[in-house]
Structure 1
Amino acid sequence: MPTITTKDGTTNQHVGLTRRGFCLCCIGGATFAATGAWLTPAEVFAAAGNIVDMIRGEAANAQIKTHKLRKDVSMLEGSGGNIAVLTGSDGKLLIDAGITATRPRIEDALTALGKEPIVRLINTHWHFDHTDGNEWLHGEGAAIMAHVNTLKHLSVAQRVNDWDFNFPASPAGALPTDLMNNERTVKLNDETIALKHYDPAHTDGDISVYFQEADVLHTGDTFWNGIYPFIDYSTGGNIDGMIKAADANVAATTNKTIVIPGHGPIGNKKQLIAYRDMLKAVRDNVARLKKKGHSLDEIVAAKPSAKFDAKWGKFVIDPRFFTQLVYEGV
């Protein structure tokens, strides 16, 4: 059965980030425990062989933690990206679907929140750690909503170069059928749920989901709390868009807003600002060196993210990989 943690959304208490909380970290974390050294992303991927199957395998044993936030909004942690759940008499709404291997524990967590059926699922973007559970959730009755670009990427074979992986097209039951472009509002369980599309940021299909009455914002993967983010240039992401999205997230929140990141612990406006400032500083440092004609290897050696590495660089998106991602976009 799931672990349920009660949280007062007006406090600054946060849930600690575990290696299983962001499942890519399981592989790097296991190596660190055995050797005392972090692998580079390329070494992690090489060690894993098929990184996606490895993540799914790790998810099969992952525990799901439920964090009750405010009003009828909760967060499920442990199945790929963080999942938000709105409960009530109209049925359950999920934001992101996690990884299918955790289905039994997600079902337990959802049952513990109430016996209402699952009626709607919103994907914040197309990546498998946020959409892998689409098909089974649709089979349970969820209508799937997403940005049109999310459908585009799920509908065809899609390569992510930095993961060295080719994803097959998703089955019909996993595809969103309720599509949006720029903005959309949904009413459910006495909540007004505002959806907004970012300009290309983490991908080209990212959306935020804001529960207005509860004052809870799910940012998808435009915000990774306490860890360097992945930026998927293969499907339209870029560092400048990530900064613009971070600015939008800061502007959309107050000091009382609870922020659900795509990965990492529950956050707040102060942490959004720290994240935005980190992105800007590293981007400016890399751009300055690149403008001077330095190669990627030279820029990595210069450690343009050094000021932030102790806090942000301890997981799979390590300083070298993050510098490479920023370099690609400036």
Structure 2
Amino acid sequence: MKSRMMLGLLASMLAAAPVSAAPPPPEVQSLGNGLSVLIGSSCNVLILPGDTGVLIVDDQRRSTFDETMAGIRSVSDLPVRYVVDTHWHLDHSGGNGSFTKAGAVIVAQRNVLVRRSAEQYMAPYKQHIPADPQESRPVIIFDDSLDLRLGAETVELRHVAIAHTDGDTLVHFRNANVVAMGDVFFNHIFPFIDRSSGGSIQGMIKGVETALAMTDEKSRIVPAHGPVATRAELSAYHDMLLDVARQVQTAKRKGRTLEQVVASHPAAAYREGMEGEEDRFVEAIYDSFGHADLHHRI
């Protein structure tokens, strides 16, 4: 009798025990011509299989390596051969060490290597970022541009200076008619301009103009954060950057303090449908304008 009672109690305990849910499958969208994008939890990751290996653009954080690999494996079983870092921030390049251990080669603009070879300080977060170990740093380095071939696709890497950081890369998949923009483009998010890493509003605007010149009305634009966009959406983002920058420049030329400019909310007209930190965006724009810049209309 006691045994039956114990078995019944055990059965009811098992029935009541919570079942751990399996992680949801990664969201991977096809962009055509063999190119896909993983909508990752840290950033968007471009995935391009070739004949003998896979090229990816950005690899998220070290902690999201399994998620990134699951997205890649949903597209291809080939090994990852190349990882292109759009810039040095760890939500984009934090997986470098894991991928190099698996045999991948890191490709980046020279300033990414410079910054990942030394401790960095991100003032908005009051955070010190230690240098990467040697094996996690970029190996294939370029200054202004680099073209890669993978299967039938030509992958054009173009440096845009002093934009989100001083080491940003736009990645143009010519045949697929897709441009990956890293953090030069935040879709439906007020952008973060990392002044500690050499970024500026002037460079952000020029970087977006460079991307617009690469594209047409059929192009798909992949931001680092937010949904895949059209050229029209990127153009509207450009106009927003330019409008807010000009308002801040004019106010600073008139002697307004940072606190006064932030309190005037020059980006208020763009709040609908936007996320992110509006005030931090305005602060970075204000800081981008030195004395000499105040009299040169952008």
Question: Shorter-normalised TM-score: what interval?
Answer: 0.7 to 0.9
Counterpart of 2:265 (choices 292, 303, 317) is: 303
2:282 corresponding residue in structure 1: 323
Counterparts of residues 265-280 of structure 1 (less than 5 Å): 265-280=227-242
1:137 corresponding residue in structure 2: 99
Question: RMSD of aligned C-alpha atoms?
Answer: 1.3
Counterpart of 2:51 (choices 53, 77, 89) is: 89
Task: Pick closer, same or farther for the CA change 1:250–1:139 going to 2, 3 Å.
Answer: same
Unaligned runs of at least 5 residues, structure 2: 1-22, 290-298
- For residues 90 and 162 of structure 2, the distance between their equivalents in structure 1, rounded to whole angstroms, comes to 18
* 2:59–2:65 Cα contact (<8 Å) kept: no
Q: Helix, strand or coil: the match of 2:157? A: strand
* 1:75–1:85 Cα contact (<8 Å) kept: yes
1:71 corresponding residue in structure 2: 33
TM-score, normalised relative to structure 2: 0.87
Task: Pick closer, same or farther for the CA change 1:267–1:260 going to 2, 3 Å.
Answer: same
Deviation at 1:64, TM superposition (A): 3.1
Counterparts of residues 1-330 of structure 1 (less than 5 Å): 64-312=26-274, 314-315=275-276, 317=277, 319-330=278-289
- For residues 232 and 296 of structure 1, the distance between their equivalents in structure 2, rounded to whole angstroms, comes to 17
Unaligned runs of at least 5 residues, structure 1: 1-60
- For residues 24 and 224 of structure 2, the distance between their equivalents in structure 1, rounded to whole angstroms, comes to 17
Deviation at 1:111, TM superposition (A): 1.5
Q: Which amino acid in 2 is paired with 1:231?
A: I
- For residues 104 and 94 of structure 1, the distance between their equivalents in structure 2, rounded to whole angstroms, comes to 15
Deviation at 1:101, TM superposition (A): 1.3
Q: Helix, strand or coil: the match of 1:310? A: coil
Query: C-alpha deviations, 1:11-64, integer Å up to 9, x for none?
Result: xxxxxxxxxxxxxxxxxxxxxxxxxxxxxxxxxxxxxxxxxxxxxxxxxx8963
- For residues 200 and 323 of structure 1, the distance between their equivalents in structure 2, rounded to whole angstroms, comes to 17
- For residues 24 and 90 of structure 2, the distance between their equivalents in structure 1, rounded to whole angstroms, comes to 16
* 1:63–1:78 Cα contact (<8 Å) kept: no
* 2:88–2:115 Cα contact (<8 Å) kept: yes
Q: Helix, strand or coil: the match of 1:124? A: coil
Q: Which amino acid in 1 is paired with 2:218?
A: K
- For residues 50 and 83 of structure 2, the distance between their equivalents in structure 1, rounded to whole angstroms, comes to 15
TM-score, normalised relative to structure 1: 0.78
* 1:98–1:129 Cα contact (<8 Å) kept: yes
Q: Which moved more, 1:72-81 or 1:163-172?
A: 72-81
* 1:64–1:79 Cα contact (<8 Å) kept: no
Q: Of the two structures, which has the highest relative contact order with CA contacts closer than 8 Å and spacing of 6 or more?
A: 1
- For residues 154 and 286 of structure 1, the distance between their equivalents in structure 2, rounded to whole angstroms, comes to 32
Q: Which amino acid in 2 is paired with 1:294?
A: R
* 2:40–2:68 Cα contact (<8 Å) kept: no
- For residues 126 and 227 of structure 1, the distance between their equivalents in structure 2, rounded to whole angstroms, comes to 20
CA radius of gyration, larger in: 2
Task: Pick closer, same or farther for the CA change 1:62–1:296 going to 2, 3 Å.
Answer: farther
